[in-house]
Amino acid sequence: MAYSGTSVGPGRPGVFVTHPVFREAAFGSHHPLSIGRQAAVLDLCQAMGWLTSDRIHHCQLASREDLLKFHDARYVDALEAACERGVASVDTRQRYNVGTMECPLFDGLWERARASVGGSTRAAEFAADGHVAFHPAGGTHHGRPERASGFCYFNDPVFAIMTLLERGIERVLYLDLDAHHGDGVEDAYSGDGRVMTVSLHEAGRWPYSGETGWDDEKATLNIALPGGVNDSEYDFVLEQSVLPRVERWEAQAAVVECGADALAGDPLSSLQLSNGALWRAVERFVAPVPGAVVLGGGGYNPWTAARLWAGLWARLSGQVIPVGLPGKAEALLAALSCDLVDDEDIVPRWLTAVDDVPNEGAIRPEIDAIVKALG
Ligand SMILES: [Zn+2]
């Protein structure tokens, strides 16, 4: 099937997977993720009239037995014990990175972490049945079998891929558009033979892995982009270096991690994409496969993250993004706040429209060099 930028919605109305725990505050009060993104996405979709209750599927929490398919039992038990006590021992902090500044303990963590896995597992079941399933609270791509990493306690994208494979799908594409390298998923599946992993991320950012290169044996493609990347450069790299390899892979299903931190305005990256560039990218990879899981991920600006994911749901489910916003949606965006974004840096359009102004521009020599290096 040919790859195209056309809507993926018609005939596949889409399933929105979530859990009530994602509405609750999380990560305490001094963490980049304490910004209420998931409630904002759900509320914005509903305020825009894009999400009726028949499209929403509430997932189960993953059980201990489920978690042990990827995570180490000692880590799972230590995390549960720390959540129960509300405090992490020195050993738990050092060994498992739980109860640290990076991966703090907070009320609801044990439910939330298991809901991310339960949601991705359920989304993959929908995908195996030919649906596009959107799970914006998923995308914890840094989680390691034996420890928490990079704000991620478990690794829900791994469970989405695992579920597709268990359902008899033999060739899976994992595409990671987050500003940070999808290291946990790549390490879990590179060389597996059934999964191609692709990660486009910003060079020189944590976790500092994912140098530009294609490894044929491992079926792993990494593209480390320079800061300031615009929409034109992103499209160019996708067309020249990603789509041809992905077409050859002939995936039967895709799992896409669509973090919001590659957008202009994100305080933890300096990529400069508009949300339209990411919507187009997701559609190009989701349209040709029979079923797909689309996840959220990083994203530390509540306005850009909520608008990206609400608009992504609209596009995936074949709905039109209007000019302007209903009053309810405007009020919701006006009520968001974020310690990492100064008031004078709030772009007026973040409060008045879902779509960004496209950020088109010249293709810089360093982008040409990436494409040439990949051959
Ligand atoms: Zn990220």
Catalytic entry in 19, 141, 142, 201: 142
- The predicted pLDDT at position 7 comes to 44
- The predicted pLDDT at position 1 comes to 32
Residue 8 lies in a domain: no
Residue 306 lies in a domain: yes
Read off the CATH number of the domain in which 101 is found.
3.40.800.20
Contacts of residue 348, defined as CB under 8 A and 6 or more positions apart, other chains included, come to: none
Residue 5 lies in a domain: no
- The predicted pLDDT at position 8 comes to 60
Q: What percent of the chain has pLDDT over 90?
A: 93
Q: What would the two tokens of residue 12 be?
A: 């596949």
- The predicted pLDDT at position 56 comes to 96
**CA-to-CA dists, residue 18 to 58, 60, 67, 267, 354, angstroms:** 5, 9, 18, 26, 21
Is 142 noted as a catalytic residue in this protein? yes
Mean confidence (pLDDT) of the chain: 95
Residue 1 lies in a domain: no
Tell me if 279 sits within 8 A of 256, measured CB to CB. no
133-153 pLDDT, tens digit each: 999 999 999 999 999 999 999
d(CA 281, CA 234): 9
Residue 90 lies in a domain: yes
Phi, psi of 292 (to 5 degrees): -150, 150
d(CA 268, CA 261): 7
- The predicted pLDDT at position 5 comes to 32
Which amino acid is present at 322?
P
Please provide the size of the chain in residues. Answer: 375
User: For 369, which DSSP code?
Assistant: H
**Res. 4 pLDDT band, cuts 50 70 90:** very low
CA of 10 to the centre of ligand 1 (A): 30
Residue 162 lies in a domain: yes
Residue with tokens 């429209």: 353
Domain count, the chain: 1
**Which range of residues forms the domain containing residue 72?**
15-374
CA of 182 to the centre of ligand 1 (A): 8
Q: What percent of the chain has pLDDT over 70?
A: 97
- DSSP secondary structure, 222-235, as one string: EEEEPTT--HHHHH
HSE on the CB side for 357, CA within 13 Å?
A: 6
151-206 pLDDT, tens digit each: 999 999 999 999 999 999 999 999 999 999 999 999 999 999 999 999 999 999 99
CA of 298 to the centre of ligand 1 (A): 4
d(CA 298, CA 302): 11
Average pLDDT over residues 321-345: 94
Residue 6 lies in a domain: no
CA of 284 to the centre of ligand 1 (A): 21
Which amino acid is present at 305?
A
SS3 at position 3: coil
- The predicted pLDDT at position 9 comes to 52
Residue 358 lies in a domain: yes
